[in-house]
Amino acid sequence: MRLRRGRTAVGTALAAIALATLSACSSSDTATDSGIPPSTTSAAPAEGAAAQPGAGQVTDAQRAAFGQAHQGALALVAFGGLGGEQGVGEQVRTLGPELAEHGRALDEQIRALATAQGVALGDQIAAEQQAVLADLQARSGQAFDQAWLQTVLDLQQQAGDAANAVLNDPNASAEAKAAARDALTALDATVAKLRQAAGAAGATTPRSVDAGTGGQAASGDVPVVPPVLAGLGVVLLGAAGWWLRRRAA
């Protein structure tokens, strides 16, 4: 049960951060107020959103926030789905669908907000993320699980960065900062569980490489002085012994 809570927190955290980011942008009346250069063009209302309040007054910063949040949600759906389909380890096969489910829920929330503000969102995942997906799809077995876990951990890192950005933004609203703090708390727990899973799967980044135990490949100059000294010592001891035995005879 505890593990399940950790898994669901992945999507919840990302959703909270995305919504916090959007709230932060929406909390500023104008682009100038938020310290962001004024928009040079207003976004055209999305289909069916022309009558919505605020339509046509969307700033570049808001559009960027919607785009990032939307892509984050799409990435969750895509990466989660792939983990469920292609994963071989139990943790990846169960964590994947959880991620995808929460990605879809997050996307619905973002789309609703975007429509209300007159921002049109595409349906396709960004080319960069598609390349990462194709990279993962080219793997199989344990290699897939390891790379998938690393990728999901990267997503967590991005989510943490997004939350910290909101916390460090002096223009972010109190509600946005509270959401970001909650998201960070959830992320910390989730990242710990993901790292545990990654450690069990050997998916962590190595800290060292030990690749040589024989010494046969090693070479070096053979020192002369120590063997000569040791040999001389043996000869002298032998000579002394011979001398003493001869005297005793």
Residues between 22 and 61 with contacts to another protein, criterion CB under 8 A:
43-44
Other beta carbons within 10 angstroms of residue 103's beta carbon come to: 24
Choice from 51, 123, 174, 249 touching another protein (CB under 8 A): 123
Choice from 16, 20, 106, 132 touching another protein (CB under 8 A): 132
The least distance separating another protein from the CB of residue 9, rounded to whole angstroms, comes to 19
Choice from 127, 170, 174, 249 touching another protein (CB under 8 A): 127
| Calpha distance 72→226 (Å, rounded) | 68
Choice from 13, 16, 24, 75 touching another protein (CB under 8 A): 75
Question: Does position 230 bind another protein by CB under 8 A?
Answer: yes
Of the pair 120, 178, the CB lying nearest another protein is at 120
Considering only residues 142-161, where is the footprint of another protein by CB under 8 A? 142-143, 146-147, 149-151, 154-155, 157-158
Give 47: exposed, middle or buried? Use CB within 10 Å, 0-12, 13-18, 19+: exposed
Residue partners of 78: CB distance under 8 A and separation at least 6: 100, 103, 125, 129, 133
| Calpha distance 61→29 (Å, rounded) | 12
Contact 49, 116 (CB under 8 A): yes
Q: Binding-site residue total for another protein (CB under 8 A)? A: 88
Question: Does position 106 bind another protein by CB under 8 A?
Answer: no
Tell me the two tokens of residue 107: 């996307």
CA-closest candidate to residue 117, choices 177, 56, 160: 56
Question: Does position 236 bind another protein by CB under 8 A?
Answer: yes
Element (H, E) at 186: helix 174-200
Choice from 112, 122, 171, 175 touching another protein (CB under 8 A): 122
Question: Does position 166 bind another protein by CB under 8 A?
Answer: no
The single residue listed with the structure tokens 């339509």 is 55
Choice from 14, 25, 74, 166 touching another protein (CB under 8 A): 74
The least distance separating another protein from the CB of residue 12, rounded to whole angstroms, comes to 20
